[in-house]
Structure 1
C-alpha cells in the first residue's frame, strides 16, 4: 500500500507488538515500534521507506503511546512524531499523563527543527472558533468535546497547524473513523505553522486495509531544504575467490599462476610481480563481482500468486464495506480478512521450511550464526549510518566532514603514547638466528583460517593453500628473502580500518566503535611464523586468558564464578578488582595501574 500510494513515512497506532525494536517489512519498508502495555491495548510505530531509513539520526520511545524519529534532509532536521491518545472512557489521570508527556517531548524539540505529528488523538476539534484562524483551517467534523479542546490547546501552545482542517472537503471526506453508525474525525496530522505552506494537501483515503475502523490520512509535503550532493557508496569489484572450491577452476588457476611466477631477488620486486600475477589470473579464471553491492529486498520471498489473489479479495471486500456500511458486507470482509491471514501464514511457513530443514540436516553452525546476525541487525533502529557527531556533539551529514571526523578520532586514538618504564634489567638478546624453514611456512599456512576478509592486496590465504606444495615453496622463497634482507613489501604496510559498532551507546559517536584492520593475508602468515618463534623465547603468565592458545576468556569467567560460589558457601568475604583497559590497552601505563591496585588492596587489607 505504501509503495502504491508513494508514502515515505507512515505513523501507526495500536500496533500491540511487545518490545522496543524494529522489524523489516515487505518491499524494503521498516517498522520502528514502541512497546505495548501488558494488556496489549496500545503501541505506536513509524514505518519508513528505504530512502528514509538511511537518514535516521535518532529514535526515541517515550512510552507505549508516544515515540518519535529524527531524520536529516539536506542539512535540515525533521522529527516525525506518532501519538495515540487515551480513549474517552479512560481515566482522567491517564489522559493528563499523555498530554503532559506529549508536551514534554515538544518542549525538548528545538524550534528550528521541522515537526510532523501524526496520530490517533481521540478528540473532535469540530469547526473553527474565534481566534483560532492560525491553528485551525475551519474544515472539521462533528461537535467539539473536551478531548478536542486539548488538541486545539496543544496546537496553540506549540504553534502547530491541524492540517486536516486546512483543505476544503465534503463532510463525508473529513471522516477518519467509522464504527457501525458512528462517524467521527479523531485522526490528525499537525505541523509547525511556519512550515504549513510546505503541506500541499491532506486527504482521507478510503478503501485501504490499514485498520478495520480507521481510515488512511495522507499529507503531501514539499520541504524546502538545501540540496546537497548525495554520496553514492560505490562497491569495489572483487575477485570471486569462493570459486576456488571448484576443482576444475582450482586446477586451471594453479597451472596458470605457477607457470607465470618469477623468483626475483628483491623483496619489493618479487611481491610486485607475483601478486599482480595472482590477481590477474584470479580475474581471468574466477571473474569479478558486479560491484553493485548486496541486492536490495525488492519483495517478500513468500509473496506468491495465491497470497496476492487472497489479499486482493480482502481489499476489495474492505472497500465495498466502507462504501455500503451494511452488516452483510462487514461479515464478508471479516471472512476475507481471516482467509488472508491464513494464506500469508501458510506461505511464510512454506518458504522457510526447506532452508531450515537443510540447516538442521547439515548442522551448519556458521550459517545459523549468519541467520541470527541478520535477524538481529534487522531489529535495530539504525543499520545504515549517514550522520555522525563530532567531538562537540554536532551532527555531521557531509561525507567529507564525516571522513575527517573518523580520521581525527583514529589518529588521536592510535598515536597516543604513555611514558614507558622499564621494569626489568638486562641486555639485548643477540646471537645467530636460524633461517626460515619450509616446515615453518607450511605450518603457518595450515593454521590460517579460511573465509576471512582480505586486505587491500585482495589475495586470500586460500590461494596459498590451494596452490599446493609448489605454492608453499613459492611462499617459503619470499619469507627467506624477507628474513635475510630485513625488508617486507611496501603494500603490506597499508591496511583498511573498518569501524565496527560495539552495540551500546549512541550510534553516531565515534568512541562507541571498535576499529578492525583488514591486513594482507600473506603478511598474517609471515606474522604467524614470527609469533611462533617469539613464544619460544618468552614466558606468559598463567593468569592470562586472552590471546593465548588453548585458553578463552570464558574460562576466566568460569573460574571467577567458581570462586564466588565457593566464598558464598563458606559465607566468607570476597574482594575483587577489575580493570577496564579501553581501546589501545597495550599502551596503557601498566606500572601506574599496578601501583594503584596495590594501594587499594592495602587500604582494604585484602590478602
Structure 2
C-alpha cells in the first residue's frame, strides 16, 4: 500500500490512497486496518474508494478537535443507507479516531453522491482524516465527471508558511505562450516599453536583463489562461464534445433532483457518449496505423509511432534530484585551470570577425530560428524575439555589440535548464542519464551570430 509523506512546517503528515475491491473486500479492508493500527501516526488522511455505505453515521458532537477546526459535527448525506461494509468502516474509524470528511466540510455540506451507475446513486468514496488534517482542510469538493462511475474528490488544504518536500528545487518561472494573433498588440506594447528605457541602459551590463523585462511586461498581459485537467485526445472532436456536454447536463440534474427518470436519462446519454468515444478512438488508431505505411521520411515515421504508442517518458523513476544535480555539476564543471592566455604578437585584427554586429545579421539569424522550441530559464520562447518589432531588434543589436566589444557576458547566458534523458539500465542511477540543455533564446541568438561569422570566415579562408 502506497503512503505519501508530507511536511507542514515541522509536522509530518501522511496520505493513504485507498481502494478496497468489492470482490476482495474483507482481505483489502484487513490490509488497510493493519496499516492504520501499525502506522502509529495521528496525522493521516485516507482518501479513495472504500466500497462501503455509511449513511449519515458518525456524529462527533463532543470532539473538541473537530469543533476547533470549523467542520460540522453532524454529517449530512444524500445516501442514507448503512451496509455491512459501512458498519465495519465506521468501527475502524472510531477505533483509530478517523473523522469522515464527507458531508461536513466546505464544498460538500450536503454529502453528495460520489457514485453514479445507471439509476443507482450512492456514496462509497470517502475522505477520512485525523490530527493536523482536520485543521488544514480548506475545501472538500465532489467534481462532475462522466468518464467514470466514480466522481472525483478534490481536497484543498491550507499549506501554511512552508511545505518541505523531499527532492525540492527552485521553481521555474511560468512559461510565456506565443500566439500569432497577439503579434500586433504585443509589438505596440513592446515599443512603448523600449521607448521608456534609456539607450545607455541597453548598452550596459544589465542591457539584456532590461530587454527581457520589456518582453515580459508586454507579453504577460496577453497570456491566455492555459487549460488544465484532462488533456483531450486527438480523436476527441466536436461530436464527442456535444454528447459529453449532454451527459454532463444530465449528471448535474441527477445530483440536483435525484429523480429516477433523470437517472435513466443520464445513464442513456452517458452510454451513447462512451460508445462514441470507443468508436472514435478505434477509428483514429486504425487510420494512424495504416498511414505509417505511407510515410516518406524517418521524422514522419517516428512522429506517427509516438502518436501510436503514446508518451515515451520513464514513469515511476525514483531518482533523487540532489544526486542528479551533483552528477551534472560534476561532469559539466571539471576543475581544469588554464594558464594565462597568450596572443600572437602583434595582435591580428580581422575585420570579418571584429566588425560591428548589424541589424541585418540579427534578422538573418532570427529568420533561421525554429518555432515551438523549449525556452530556457527565463521561460521566453524564441517567437517573442523572432517576431519582435524592428525597434526592439535594433536595441537588441546594440546590446549584443556592447557584449561583443566589452567581453562582459550576462550571467543569464551562462545558465540553462538541464533535462535528464534516460539512456539505459537502472533508472535510479544518475550515471544512466544524459543532459539536454535548454538555453535562453536571446543567448542562442547571440551565439548563432558568432557561429555564422566563423563559418563564413572559414569558407572565405578556404579552411
* Normalised TM-score (structure 2): 0.47
Which of 1 and 2 has higher RCO (CA within 8 Å, sep 6+)?
2
Higher Rg: 1
* Normalised TM-score (structure 1): 0.38
